[in-house]
Structure 1
């Protein structure tokens, strides 16, 4: 049992995006008698290469009572309507597809026994399943942020959104809000953690100049993973056999024309390049596997692709996977401190937000007295969520492309048994909500049916013919609704 009643201080180790979001959310759920402290090393200003979120980012901003237009203004963020994938199937320039964020509450997105008939109808007719969304047209003409923001704020759009952002600027802005809400910031490097000899709980944090007592700790130390990884030495579950990317070459690009509303992911010979549009620049990077490409070769390929030289930042090395336990004693790891897959689909910020919200719910619903069973359940659900993200990312590489050694090798790279089973099911029908029940965290999915369908169709895994059986069995009234939806779409398309 973990009893947080009467505690005096919660410490968040790490002053990045995850750390400040955690501080703000925990400030909401703990009483004013509990001091919320963020401990971070002295800041070193950096020019970030861009990060993106998924739709739960805007949900968190709303919950934290952070004004969206003000957030965009102060952080240099841009709106994000989804992803554009280029060259994933053939390697040619005309090869692209979208994964846009659908609003599942829109009139077209009615559900029937766990699937979305209108999406199945579009696929059956070999129509782009994104075409009904205003987001597609906005993305292709690179609409003005103000126009898109007005549509979102009006609440009657048929698409959802997230943000592209610079993590350093977001951290600074969240810090200013946190300080205004009574959160304490200690800017010193952590030297060690003192553990209670009987319970193993972190009782205090040793800094260079002082020792800080604590009752509850959030490990938001990013890739450093100084607490769950290094102090507790929790077992790491690697995805490296199925998600083989292990390096990233980050760089910046200037804008050419209007700012885009999507993250571009362009497949090259041995991986893919992200392009994340920020207000002042584009943050970019080549994600690759070092068995197929050296760092110098990666740089050369990017410069050849761009037709110009770049000034890259330091190579980022990583291994896809997660810690099997992220809640240990009175410590919870969130964000990069808990695991990582790769930048594809912007899962890091989305995972952190789900972890944080689940943690907040567990604490509140337990009234501060948390059973071991609850902590074990949190860890189990966290693992499910990571496995779901791993399988979703793996699907992106499940294409017919085979023009380079890397893409030929991807045909032999293992898949999880869960994903292999789903692939077999999708030879007969489209994805259903029930398919992803074992990927949820406390009932929450980062990616649901529309997301898996968009990518599955985009890489050629899910075929139009699998929709026939599920559409023909719909009752007549629902078939009539589908016919009406399709007619309205065609009228709208003809009027453009």
Structure 2
């Protein structure tokens, strides 16, 4: 019989951004017997921009980690995100809300909602109606916001990092300041220690590489191979430049708007608008991208900064005794706010594997982690590729190239099935896996939103059409009477406000 896997007793996290802090918090909260330290290096800076999230992020904070909602809202000051508004394609506009708009069949209708959206795709559910009317939440009978679990956050990175750091310290995570100069590797393969510029040698049993694009341990020290997504995702740069909010309404969604050589995001914070343009340097220069960005966003600073990136991931996220979390393991453009979604999902999988193995993870568990996380990355790649391949709107060289050359990977079989059968729930069996993070709903939003033609046309009889329209009008009326973001913030900041189920909050 082979020797037992080594016991993990102490963990060193390299990087004190949101990914590293979430990793340290998750490990220490769920496995309190571990000694957890973080190395905060000046070379691994905090990206001081806004982030959009998906609903799994507040779930991770409040349900998984047990953070106090009232305290978090007071210190991090997030605003709510109900989905993404796409200014996209031949419709010109459609909304992707975090609920079941299309993959849903009303009890009194014969077909799923998607079959009723040839000409009108809006107000199919309460969240999508709230987005349409610019409201954050429906109003309860007492006037308070009815805050449900289908929202995500817009959150400023510096405030998020500050809250996560103070929470980590409070539960016993040690934070060490120092510049990393290298890593020490054992002859058998694992990392033994990290060396700092001041001479410190920080040894550990297990390492989390959250060093961002530098990938100090997984990429540099261990030399793990990298898989590029450049045959599916052609954008490789972004122009970034937001502005202080004046009289603009705080919208309850992220905006994704097509541009000549890519797309532009808008993330809504209470006092700041975060805006950027993701583009392909093969089709537009940095100067031309900045000019287009400033022309369409006159409030942006006159010298927006340019960020270079590559879309792809390392072939394995767990090698020897190192697990990469966040940008150290891979990156894709933020078209669907996947960054923190990936972090939270991977951390929950890792923690459960360490727990079930009693902190002695086997090689086969490590292989399974790599299989699951690898599949997650390719699912995201294929889903984002659909956004480009299906957009028939802009007639520019970049978009012509996307329609002709974008590789869809496993999403090809879904597209073929949809073109024959339309927006039926049976499409879910043509997804790459039942655990796909975006589910059938996300894919149907792209297919129906982009008006991809199919041969399963359905002409609803008049009574069905009337019942469908009555549901839309009902949701629309509820939403129109709802609260916008500013009104909802006033409620939750009132001293008498209490979050349901929050200890001391």
User: Please, what TM-score do these two structures have when normalized by structure 1?
Assistant: 0.85
1:275-424 correspondence to structure 2 within 5 Å? 275-307=266-298, 310-397=301-388, 398-424=390-416
Kindly tell me: are residues 192 and 119 of structure 1, through their superposed partners in 2, closer, same or farther at Cα, counting changes over 3 Å?
A: farther
For these two proteins, the number of residue pairs brought into alignment is 466
CA contact (8 A) 1:270 1:293 kept: yes
After the TM superposition, which of the residue ranges 308-317 and 237-246 deviates more from structure 2?
308-317
* Alpha-carbon shift at residue 309 of structure 1 (Å): 5.8
C-alpha separation in 2, matches of 1:405 and 1:2: 57
Asked if 1:171 corresponds to 2:161, the answer is yes
Name the residue aligned to 1:83.
84
More deviation, 306-315/54-63: 306-315
8 Å contact from structure 1 (residues 79, 145) kept in 2 = no
Distance 1:494 1:47 in 2: 40
- 1:201 corresponds to: 190
CA offset digits 1:230-289 (Å, max 9, x no partner): 111111111101100000011013334221110011111111111101122011111000
Is 1:253 aligned with 2:243? yes
The Cα of 1:13 is off from its aligned counterpart by: 0.6
| Alpha-carbon distance in 1 for matches of 2:89, 2:228 | 27
Pick closer, same or farther for the CA change 1:111–1:21 going to 2, 3 Å.
Answer: farther
The normalised TM-score by structure 2 is 0.84
Query: Residues of 2 paired with 1:328 and 1:263: CA distance?
Result: 35
DSSP-derived class of the 2:351 partner: helix
Gap change, CA 1:240 and 1:118, over 3 Å in 2: farther
CA shift, 1:143, in A, is 2.9
- State how far apart, in whole Å, the 2-side matches of 1:414 and 1:49 are: 29
- Indicate the larger mover: 142-151 or 329-338: 142-151
> What does residue 181 of structure 2 align with?
191
**Counterparts in 2 of 1:416 and 1:290: CA distance versus 1, 3 Å:** same
Equivalent residue number for residue 262 of structure 1:
253
Partner of 2:115 in structure 1? 123
**Are 2:43 and 2:179, in contact at CA under 8 Å, matched by a contact in 1?**
no
Listed one character per residue, the Cα deviations across residues 355-387 of structure 1 (whole Å, up to 9, x for unaligned) are 111111111222222221211111111111111
Deviation at 1:48, TM superposition (A): 2.5
User: CA separation of 1:43/1:341 partners in 2, compared to 1, >3 Å: closer, same or farther?
Assistant: closer
Aligned counterpart for 1:98 among listed residues 68, 92, 95: 95
Q: CA deviation at 1:208?
A: 1.9
Note the alpha carbon deviations across 1:396-448, whole angstroms, 9 max, x for none. 11211242111122122231342222211111223633223x346xxx43201
Cα–Cα, structure 1 residues 392 and 111, in superposed 2: closer, same or farther, change >3 Å?
Answer: farther
SS at match of 1:273: strand
Q: Structure 2 regions of 5+ residues with no counterpart?
A: 481-505
Distance in 1 separating the partners of 2:9 and 2:72: 31
Gaps (5+ residues) in structure 1? 473-479
SS of the equivalent of 1:355 reads helix
Residues 45 and 319 (structure 1 numbering): CA distance in 2 closer, same or farther, change over 3 Å? closer
Residues 105 and 111 in structure 2, CA contact (< 8 A), matched pair in contact too: no
The answer to whether the Cα contact below 8 Å between 2:44 and 2:212 also exists between their aligned partners in 1 is no
Contact kept? 1:129, 1:454, Cα under 8 Å: no
Structure 1 position 394, deviation (Å): 0.6
**Is 2:202 the partner of 1:215?**
no
Q: CA deviation at 1:466?
A: 3.1
Aligned residues of 1:265 and 1:273 also touching (Cα < 8 A)? yes
Q: Does 1:61 align with 2:61?
A: yes
Aligned-partner Cα distance in 2 for 1:384–1:137? 33
The 1-side partners of 2:98 and 2:111 are apart by 13
Contact 1:49 / 1:285 at 8 angstroms: preserved in 2? no
- Mapped contact 1:103–1:160 kept (Cα < 8 A): no
> Relative to structure 1, is the Cα distance of residues 125 and 111 closer, same or farther in structure 2, using a 3 angstrom cutoff?
closer
Secondary structure, aligned partner of 2:234: coil
Is the contact between residue 100 and residue 135 of structure 1 (CA under 8 Å) also seen in structure 2? yes
1:493: Cα distance to partner? 5.0
Q: 1:125 to 1:421 in 2, by over 3 A?
A: closer
Alignment check: 8 A CA contact 1:265 1:272 kept: yes
Partner of 2:51: 51
Contact kept in structure 2, 1:247 and 1:288, CA below 8 Å: yes
